[in-house]
Structure 1
Amino acid sequence: MSQSTDQLGLSTDHSRAVADAPHTHGRGGVPQASRAARPTSFDLADFPVPTGREEEWRFAPVARIVPLFDAEGTGLTGSGVQTTVVNPPEVQVEIVGRDDARLGTAGRPGDRTAASAWTSFPEATVVTVKAQAVASAATSVRVEGTALGELAPTATHLLVHALELSEAVVIVDHVGAALLTETVEIVAEAGAHLTVVSIHDWAAGSVHTTAHRLRLGRDATVKHIVVTLGGDVVRVTPDAEFTGEGGQIDALGLYFADAGQHQEHRLFIDHAVPSCRSRVTYKGALQGNGAHTVWVGDVLIRANAEGTDTYELNRNLVLSDGARADSVPNLEIETGLIEGAGHASATGRFDDEQLFYLQARGIPEADARRLVVRGFFAELIAKIGVPAIEERLLGAIEAELARSMGEIETGAAR
């Protein structure tokens, strides 16, 4: 394990691993249970109600998520969420019942809220990109919390299915106020090129857990983008599995947590077949008392997944006292016949030396802070490739920074 420093002055742990024997690596050298051994099931009863001591729940504010656990096993019956889809002609949209054979094909739930989402949704939205079609515009899926007064626990289900040799962009936008557990299935058939952007911009008071299950066929390419900005608690758990050689996934994430917010992202990339590639890049900033972000990245390279090429990166920028970022990269390798595998994690505070450097050249403090944070996110935002989303993110970051500067000026006035 070596130490290095990036342009923000953040201490970074790097690991490159190639071995002839099975290898498991966790942050701090702590042995990790194999992800391959973790239970998955469509049966809610197979997942006991979490206490917060379980590995997958140890960072989460379990008491705030309790309503979504369906502790009685009777199903979540809330209906305070409305899904609206705007699609181009190359994309078909259907509302289907629970018995539709296409549902559940991307994998099984891996925790209690994912299972309660599966057992509770009354109907599903299916978005299908037609075979060999190139979508003429992005498909917009708006998931809006519409409940008035007390929020009722609700479950929703979305399937995005890209057929062979198709190409499309799908944007899933979460707004309003809701208490929601959600399943998003993403299936990319052979040769498909699919971009899915999931934006969590909830109103205050919202609690949202969402399980994204991705399945990639031969030579399929998926760009999976997660943006988390609003809500009291947001927990996103993307699981991706390769089922054919030549598959590629780029998993990008951007999050900005404010006082009292908990934002958690837990990824699992399952390299189960040879010659596939994965790249994971998540960046987050946080500010304010009680702001908490969690990133856990698990990559499993199975014994038969020769020729795998994978790398995961997480960086966090802490802008104020009272905020906490947890970052845990895990890499498990069962074969040494790979192209490469590694991970990096970095968490650091705002660099006062950089501020001094910029201010010494006549740049006001507020502008200097904005420049540093913009630079932190710039490379990641440029990778998204959807101009409307990029502009929206830049505006959201500006709004967060304006709030931060207001707090700083208020504190200075005191």
Structure 2
Amino acid sequence: MTVIDTTPVVPVQTRSERPWSFDPEDFERPTGREVNWKLSDLRRLAPLLVDEETEAGERSLDYDTGDAEARGLLVESTGHDAAPRGEIFQPEDLASAIAWKRCANALHVRLPEGQAVEAPVVVRIAGRGADVHGNAHIVIEAMPGSQGTVVLSHEGSAAYAQNVEILVRPGARLEVVSVQDWEDDAVHAAAHQAVVEQGGFLRHIVASFGGGVVRVNPSVRLAGEHAEGELFGLSFADAGQHLESQVYLHHEGVSTKGDVLYKGALQGEGARSVWIGDVLIGSGATGTDSYEKNQNLVLTDGTRADSIPNLEIETGDIAGAGHASATGRFDDEQLFYLQSRGIEEEEARRLVVIGFLMEIVQKVGVPEVEERLAAAIEEELRRGASLAPASRAGA
């Protein structure tokens, strides 16, 4: 007699309980029913879910680190066991596990102990074509008492799976900015995982404009006492684009502070944005102060913005915690105010969008990067100038 197991399968919902493994064989190919894949574009992400060697190997994309080597900010990292690679990084999905396996050597940027690195470290990553599949592991390490900014700038075309491991040592202050300005046929899935140790500070910014599908998922552990984390994001989705971020902020240490703010704009038929925000305040994270918010501005009909904030609290001894989410079209009162002062409707709409998104841009603190992001917003608005304004909010 055949015995059928009728025990219901309960999917993993709690962010902290998701399984992880360095072996791709431990992950089943996603079907779209999984909590971390159900809102993703699996059809276009398919090339990143195949575990096979590529012809170009690790050199499937071009990396330009500028003068970082001459400044002594690059460290050789050869092999999967080269410390500190893998110190805190744990692949949580198939694409990330494949990237770990297929990229033996990491790009390791290190800010020297006790030093303030004045000029930002800019890593330019250029794809060689949408049919070229690349994998990468990048380690960004801020040594104790150091201070500086690292910018990851993506352009060109590629099918690119990327792991970024961020280590903020005691008392360090680090800013990481990841700019996705790919061509429209690019596919990019990135897992950013960070730990902030005692008294450390991390500002992590994701800015996505280009690419067919861009999925950048930051995960930050505030592990040490008085650790702080700011997670900011900006996206502008055009017709047919899918821009996604699944954000996880885990308060572990005592008196940690977290601030999450992601903003997005959408225009054109089929433009899609996905934001999932998970904040976990652990049982030992007394004195925590945490807040997360996502806002989306719908500029035309035919778009869709998914926004899902989640908050878990395992201790009652906190300073504060909260979350918020809003998706809607233009504020008619703002438009009326501007038009009543002689500003034409099209220009008024432009000013509203710029004012909405520039809040994130101004948090970067690096003038050349802020100027580039502001120019990208202007270019997106020029592209959408011929599109009719939205008559209702996206859902």
Give TM-score scaled by structure 2 length. Answer: 0.91
Residue matched to 1:92: 73
Which has the larger displacement, 298-307 or 353-362?
Answer: 353-362
**3-state SS of the aligned residue for 1:241?**
strand
How big is each residue's C-alpha offset from its partner over 1:379-400, in whole Å with a ceiling of 9 and x where there is no partner? 2222221111111111111111
Shift of 1:124: 1.2
Shift of 1:153: 1.8
Which of 82, 85, 89 lines up with 1:107 in the alignment?
Answer: 89
Residue matched to 1:145: 127
Residue matched to 1:370: 350
Residue matched to 1:293: 273
Residue matched to 1:8: none
Q: Does 1:162 align with 2:142?
A: yes
CA contact (8 A) 1:293 1:324 kept: yes
How big is each residue's C-alpha offset from its partner over 1:287-321, in whole Å with a ceiling of 9 and x where there is no partner? 00000000000011111111111100100000000
Residue matched to 2:359: 379
Which has the larger displacement, 352-361 or 196-205?
Answer: 352-361
In structure 2, relative to structure 1, the CA distance for the partners of 1:51 and 1:295 (3 Å cut) is same
Q: Which runs of 5+ in 2 are unaligned?
A: 1-10, 390-395
Q: Within 5 A, what are the aligned runs for 1:10-409?
A: 33-70=13-50, 73-76=51-54, 78=56, 79-87=59-67, 91-98=72-79, 99-147=81-129, 151-408=131-388
In structure 2, relative to structure 1, the CA distance for the partners of 1:191 and 1:91 (3 Å cut) is farther
**3-state SS of the aligned residue for 1:374?**
helix
In structure 2, relative to structure 1, the CA distance for the partners of 1:91 and 1:187 (3 Å cut) is farther
Letter of the 1:94 partner, please give it: V
Q: Which runs of 5+ in 1 are unaligned?
A: 1-30, 410-414
Which has the larger displacement, 250-259 or 80-89?
Answer: 80-89
How many correspondences in the alignment? 375
- Mapped to 1, the partners of 2:352 and 2:12 lie a distance apart of 35
Shift of 1:328: 0.3
Letter of the 2:222 partner, please give it: F
Letter of the 2:90 partner, please give it: R
- Mapped to 1, the partners of 2:360 and 2:40 lie a distance apart of 26
- Mapped to 1, the partners of 2:331 and 2:17 lie a distance apart of 41
CA contact (8 A) 1:75 1:116 kept: no
- Mapped to 1, the partners of 2:213 and 2:167 lie a distance apart of 27
CA contact (8 A) 1:68 1:76 kept: no
Shift of 1:366: 1.8
Shift of 1:267: 0.7
CA contact (8 A) 2:222 2:229 kept: no
Shift of 1:84: 1.3
Letter of the 1:100 partner, please give it: A
Q: CA RMSD in A?
A: 1.7
**3-state SS of the aligned residue for 2:97?**
helix
Letter of the 2:245 partner, please give it: H
Letter of the 1:366 partner, please give it: E
CA contact (8 A) 1:90 1:135 kept: no
Letter of the 1:54 partner, please give it: E
- Mapped to 1, the partners of 2:39 and 2:196 lie a distance apart of 29
- Mapped to 2, the partners of 1:87 and 1:136 lie a distance apart of 13
Shift of 1:356: 3.5
Matched residues, percent identical? 45
Give TM-score scaled by structure 1 length. Answer: 0.87
